[in-house]
Chain A
Amino acid sequence: MIAARMPQPELVEPRDSGAVAFLNTDGEPLALAMEAKNVSMWYGSKRAIDDVSLDMPAKAVTAIIGPSGCGKSTFIRALNRMHELVPRARIEGSVFLHGQNLYANSMDPAVVRRRVGMVFQKSNPFPTMSIGENAIVGLRLNGVRDRKFLNERLEQSLRMAALWDEVKDDLHKSGTSLSGGQQQRLCIARALAVEPEVLLMDEPCSALDPIATAKIEELIHGLKTQYTIIIVTHNMQQAGRISDFTAFFYMGRLIEIGSTTKIFTNPNEKQTEDYITGRFG
């Protein structure tokens, strides 16, 4: 049961740009890890995201919820420039990481992706590599050679993913020899090894059983002291359990953003309330 929370933030009236500001209980603005401003996204001629502006506070978990097809998976791929890898994909607007525009001409997408990591719905440890190799592959293939450093990061990231004790004697075994939940934690370790500033998670537990899911939720709770986490989930209860802030998307638009408590007990928008209470799914 995730009891301890950050001091309950409040929502302030929307600024002109449409973004909302977060204040903590003392009235001070929370540090933001990422900001999306007027982001619109297309697949070919089909518009998937419509003018979304969203602030994501640092060292907190922001959940993105909404019915199937509302664009949450699409939106999250704007945050690490993965959307542009899809043929005929287009994006407008800007995304800032600690104040830096990730879509500036001078920004190399590969660098962006190192700073904003991602974990996918279906766990995908590389089949030709061992557990140990999988964990540090991001470092190795990005040019890190220092043996000592690699070994340190290997242990650190596997510990952060709560996997170290289970695999420390089996690091040479194939990455695919683990169970589904363990594989996903390996993918989390792999993403963390390159020390990103933000970790994106696209429905990371939807393919896992409840026990594995609980392990990962516990893990997320531990990670948020060090990382900013944006998690897409179709499971509202999960959002309620682990996130500090929740954004509700519907049909490519951001309907409402607020602290999780507020969204789930007293949302502003009727659409949000309808979704939360299960009037549509």
Chain B
Amino acid sequence: MPATTIDEADAIHSAQARMSLPSRFGDKAFYWLTFSMAFAVVLLVILIGWQLGEGSWQAIQKFGFHFVTTSTWDPVAEQYGALPFIYGTALSSLIALLIAVPLSIATAVYLTELAPLWIRQPVVSLIEMLAAIPSVILGLWGIFVMIPWLRDHPFPFLQRILGWTPFFSGPIYGPCMLAGGIIVAIMVLPIITSVSREILRSVPDLQREAAYALGGTRWEVTRIAVLSYARKGLFGAMILGLGRALGETMAVTMVIGNTPQIAASLFKPGYTLASVIANEFTEATTDMYLQALFEIGLVLFGVTILVNLLAQLLLKTITAGAAPDRVQ
């Protein structure tokens, strides 16, 4: 029992008597409440794995490993091979990174090292707004603005110059692998730029000062003191962008042509793991068809988890916040 003072002459302790008894119950209950909510994230991962596994179990048993090596996707003939989609996802992501990574890192360098101070915040805000554009709206723009323009200008130009290679040969319809890659590039530009910016900003000023003290120009300081120091983090930013590119669904579906084929030419339509799920899930007529689509989801999930895991490991030292001296 909380005792009050022994000194009766002092009448000042009415406050102590008025305060309610603290109960341990409140603290315990709140602890378990918040713990269970935090633990939910673990349950979520298990949930995803469970649902995808359960939904594709029969397909896994039937096709085994051949699922990822077969290149025929013919639901009518009950032939389900995921290779075209793996190819499509991989290639569109690769194209996206080839375009986005140089632009993003260069922009990040510009924003942290080279740009005049008054320009920095507005540009950063603009890039954040780009990140906020929903995928479906970018896809809408892709169908009605980007593809017609690509079809009439850059694509014929590319074909004229590089048409002798297998990559740029063949008829140009519009929706194609290259268009898919370009639109995914636009979608991942913001995230690679902002993470790269964080990484470059975390390079200690001491490095830069030392390089300046040696008489380096702006570019030399950037190249020697900053970029090489930040190499690992920038690579992590790239991988993070890759993870984002792999999962991109709506914008890609709207511009890539949605034909399950493996072709050399970038002007031919393609198909990605996410797109086939988006397009055909509600059309799946047979059980096995749906199971195959679940299995594609499983493949997509597995790949993005691995890529994101890698990205997190690379970025851990830079973006992880240090826990302060916390009161327990």
Question: What is A's interface to B at a CB cutoff of 8 Å?
Answer: 85-87, 98-100, 106, 108, 110-111, 114-115, 139, 142-144, 146, 149, 153, 193-195, 197, 226
Cα A253 to Cα B22 in complex, Å, equals 34
The answer on a CB contact under 8 Å between B327 and A86 is: yes
Other-chain residue from A87, A111, A143, A226 in contact with B2 (beta carbon distance below 8 A): A111
The answer on a CB contact under 8 Å between A144 and B19 is: yes
Cα A58 to Cα B325 in complex, Å, equals 33
- Which residues of B1-59 are within 8 A (CB) of A? 1-3, 5-7, 10, 12-16, 18-20, 22, 24
The answer on a CB contact under 8 Å between B12 and A195 is: yes
On chain A, the residues within 8 Å of B7 by CB distance are: 98
Chain A interface mostly = loop
8 pairs of residues in contact across A and B, judged by CB atoms under 8 Å: A108-B2, A111-B2, A111-B22, A142-B20, A144-B15, A144-B18, A197-B13, A226-B10
- 9 further A-B contacts with Cβ under 8 Å, apart from A144-B20, A197-B5, are A98-B5, A99-B6, A108-B24, A115-B2, A142-B20, A143-B20, A144-B18, A194-B16, A197-B13
Cα A116 to Cα B7 in complex, Å, equals 16
Question: What is B's interface to A at a CB cutoff of 8 Å?
Answer: 1-3, 5-7, 10, 12-16, 18-20, 22, 24, 325-328
The answer on a CB contact under 8 Å between A100 and B3 is: yes
Name which residue of chain A comes closest to B12, CB basis.
Answer: A195
The answer on a CB contact under 8 Å between A195 and B2 is: no
The answer on a CB contact under 8 Å between B5 and A193 is: no
Chain A nearest Cβ from B208, distance in angstroms? 33
Among B12, B19, B22, B327, chain A packs the most CB atoms within 10 A around the CB of B19
On chain B, the residues within 8 Å of A98 by CB distance are: 5-7
Cα A114 to Cα B325 in complex, Å, equals 24
Question: 7 closest A-B pairs (Cβ-Cβ)?
Answer: A143-B20, A195-B15, A111-B2, A142-B19, A110-B22, A85-B327, A144-B18
The answer on a CB contact under 8 Å between B327 and A195 is: no
Chain B nearest Cβ from A80, distance in angstroms? 13
The answer on a CB contact under 8 Å between A139 and B19 is: yes
Cα A16 to Cα B117 in complex, Å, equals 70
The answer on a CB contact under 8 Å between B19 and A143 is: yes
The answer on a CB contact under 8 Å between B328 and A85 is: yes
Chain B nearest Cβ from A83, distance in angstroms? 11
Cα A110 to Cα B20 in complex, Å, equals 11
Chain A nearest Cβ from B203, distance in angstroms? 31
On chain B, the residues within 8 Å of A86 by CB distance are: 325, 327-328
On chain A, the residues within 8 Å of B10 by CB distance are: 226
Other-chain residue from A108, A149, A194, A197 in contact with B22 (beta carbon distance below 8 A): A108
Name which residue of chain B comes closest to A196, CB basis.
Answer: B16
The answer on a CB contact under 8 Å between A114 and B18 is: no
Chain A nearest Cβ from B325, distance in angstroms? 8
Cα A193 to Cα B19 in complex, Å, equals 12
Name which residue of chain B comes closest to A195, CB basis.
Answer: B15
Cα A153 to Cα B3 in complex, Å, equals 21
Other-chain residue from B3, B15, B327 in contact with A194 (beta carbon distance below 8 A): B15
